[in-house]
Amino acid sequence: MKEKDFQISLAAARVNAGLSQEEAGKKLGVTRQTIMKWENGKVVPGIPEMKMLSEIYGISQDYIFLPSYSTKSRTT
């Protein structure tokens, strides 16, 4: 997976969940800046954070890590 795909899927998942970076940060116990760094690819969230992201955003971790695969499997 390309780094850009990861960034786009992470930001898209947050937006689709109806959350701002500030709101997502509060739910995760991190700052808005941390969310922004994850979405910009400056920092990669750890495994515990990825699990929390998938729960808060209401998506599988596959969607975040494999966005094109997840999208294809839902449309077929």
Nearest CA among 9, 25, 5 for reference residue 60: 9
Count structural domains, the chain: 1
Structural domain of residue 40, as residue ranges?
A: 3-75
Cβ contact 21:35 at 8 Å: yes
pLDDT tens digits along 27-76: 999 999 999 999 988 888 888 998 999 899 998 877 666 655 444 444 44
Q: What separation in angstroms does the CA of 64 have from each of 23, 61?
A: 19, 5
pTM: 0.74
The CATH number that applies at residue 62 is 1.10.260.40
